[in-house]
Amino acid sequence: MFSSHLFRLHLIVFLWGFTAILGKLIQIDASSLVFYRMLFTAFFLFIYLRFFKKESLKIDRKTLLRLVAIGSVMAA
């Protein structure tokens, strides 16, 4: 039978993959759709890491600047 982790992985792939199907039905432009999908993903990852894994999300200033720079390049 399925292990717990394998079942969770399949559930996550199904849920996040299903948004692509819904994206076809949603009447907004592609860039807005991608933005909202990433916003929801970031929110749920924050909730998962902060409350379920109980991990600290603190990063130093140098790492933050690198992440902002990489995100800016990717967004451009």
Q: Radius of gyration over alpha carbons of the chain, in Å?
A: 16
Structure tokens belonging to residue 7: 């079942």
Q: How far apart are the first and last CA of the chain?
A: 45
pLDDT tens for residues 66-75? 999 998 998 8
Residue 2's pLDDT is what? Answer: 58
Please identify which residue in the block is written with the tokens 């994206």.
Answer: 23
pLDDT tens for residues 16-61? 887 777 767 778 887 887 888 889 999 998 998 888 888 888 889 9
Residue 23's pLDDT is what? Answer: 67
Where do runs of H (alpha helix) occur along 26-60? Answer: 30-47
Question: Hey, what amino acid is at 51?
Answer: F
Query: What is the reported pTM?
Result: 0.53
Residue 4's pLDDT is what? Answer: 82
